[in-house]
Structure 1
């Protein structure tokens, strides 16, 4: 069987830490044939390290050497590069979030359909073993009623890369971190359509001088993205969602929590637990062992490759990633409208 030729566009931390190692482990079905980065020296070093034959500074020049690309650039370029890839007849795995706005996401989907090529979004939390277990257990939860999300870090603003650059990233803790658990929750719920979204964003802490931050230094004077976000959403099936995410919360410890209370039972994802009633009792169930890869990047890469080869359906469908971006847009819009109302 012919191997899928893959190009990596952007060879920063997420490419080096997740995508390149995953594709290299799947040499029986794919090969990384090209790298592209505006930092050509970094791309050349990476290519030499992994014996990758081609290096480019311009992503357009890469398309002739690949069947598929993995886009690991700042968010601002996700839509532009994805659409160009489709016009060149190339499949796309794009890092999350899908794009800067729902409008850009829709353009990406239209381009993928016109080209008849795969568009996958790297919401890797769906591939975690706890998430896979929770998806299987949703039948015991029944119709979801209330979803609770907390994706909270104590003073961990990313002090590297362009995470705090609004022009390049579109936002902060919500679009970078909270989006993962938002996507996971929607998937577990079956992606019901949202009917109401309200939210508030903050960046007060990170704009204060003399920062105490565990993840490196950043300029508090130029910090212009959200470091803490709260939101409430309602859905057409009657379910509601309580959502909170932060890079810089003044809390005791980091907290990653996703729980769903349904008509028949409930569950928590991290750690995976199931809450049911049986024989007149309240039961809490924990998994002694969950069969799955420890590294979610590997099944994510496998699923993308198999989808490109026409052998599997995507686990993360682009229309579902679009819904995440629609909710993110509405949270930001709601917060802006609230602040404009206060200032009037």
Structure 2
């Protein structure tokens, strides 16, 4: 079998920093055949930088030249491109979040199931070494039945001042849909993707709408800022588990604070870094992980999994219906904040 031919749709920072370098490290299995961007000049510059032969400004024209695509566009375009690719018989790896709404995500799932092609979403936090080990600990019953998750994805004064991150029309939201979604997906996966039944959420953007802000990640227009910069939520699941969730771009805290803590019936785990907490042999035992130095980036194993899925020798680590569940909860958090009511799913 020849090499898998990959096309990149969207030539921005995420493509250049993550996806293109990862696929190029796997050049024995895959070739980056083409790149597409609505700004053809940008696409040509990136193609020259990474020695990609074919350049397109229309993704429909690319599909005949590739076996698979990676979608790196703003969130607004994820669903349309993914559905078109799947209907053209092309495998899809789509950047997170899956799409702008539950309905768009469902359309992507339907297209994947109808086409029989691979659809995976780039929730790369699942591929971090600590996350992979934590999942094994859960599956091997080291913590018993997971009961309560406490999830924090908090940055101190780091609203992204570049790209379209603060553009609600193109992105659908702010800190929750951009960064918090990673931690929401990771924690759901570690819990075993239980079905949610109730979501209560509150979103804020008070701080970012104030003038003369101190911001570590560039400047933005406080007058037009209309996405969330801080979000809190409580999620209850049908199996009785629950989650306390908080994410922010701009929290007034001493330093960035991010991690997942899961308490189970016989033990618990904490990320990041990974620690296993147990009570046995008459003692409280805490076991901290220590990694052998190596490539810690999750980009390479994510790319490897996608390639192997396209070749029919693996299943996606991030399955479409699991990513759909993440977006369903995000929608419910936004709706709960807007209506000031809990949302029953």
Please indicate the TM-score interval, normalised by the length of the shorter structure.
over 0.9
Partner of 1:213 in structure 2? 215
Deviations 1:265-314 (A, max 9, x none): 00101010000012100000012226874110000000000001100011
Partner of 1:4 in structure 2? 4
Question: Normalised by the size of structure 1, how large is the TM-score?
Answer: 0.97
Partner of 1:191 in structure 2? 193
> Does 43-52 or 295-304 show the bigger shift?
43-52
Partner of 1:134 in structure 2? 134
Q: Secondary structure at the match of 1:268?
A: strand
Return the offset for 1:7: 0.3
Partner of 1:298 in structure 2? 300
Over 3 Å counting, the alpha-carbon distance change for 1:110 and 1:69 in structure 2 is: same
Partner of 1:87 in structure 2? 87
Alignment of 1:1-344 (within 5 A): 1-138=1-138, 139-289=141-291, 293-338=295-340
Deviations 1:4-24 (A, max 9, x none): 000000011110000000000
Task: State whether residues 273 and 289 of structure 2, in contact with CA within 8 Å, keep that contact through their aligned partners in structure 1.
Answer: no
Q: Secondary structure at the match of 1:154?
A: coil
Query: C-alpha separation between the residues in 2 aligned to 1:257 and 1:307?
Result: 29
Deviations 1:107-148 (A, max 9, x none): 001011111100000000000001011101112111111100
Query: C-alpha separation between the residues in 2 aligned to 1:74 and 1:51?
Result: 24
Q: CA RMSD in A?
A: 1.1
Question: Normalised by the size of structure 2, how large is the TM-score?
Answer: 0.97
Deviations 1:87-109 (A, max 9, x none): 21100000000000111100001
Question: Which structure 1 residue ranges, 5 or more long, are not aligned?
Answer: 340-344
Query: C-alpha separation between the residues in 2 aligned to 1:277 and 1:137?
Result: 15
Question: Which structure 2 residue ranges, 5 or more long, are not aligned?
Answer: none
Query: C-alpha separation between the residues in 1 aligned to 2:309 and 2:300?
Result: 14
> Does 133-142 or 74-83 show the bigger shift?
133-142
Task: State whether residues 129 and 290 of structure 1, in contact with CA within 8 Å, keep that contact through their aligned partners in structure 2.
Answer: no
Query: C-alpha separation between the residues in 1 aligned to 2:35 and 2:135?
Result: 35
Q: How many residues align?
A: 339
Return the offset for 1:42: 1.5
Partner of 1:342 in structure 2? none
Deviations 1:59-78 (A, max 9, x none): 11111110000000000000
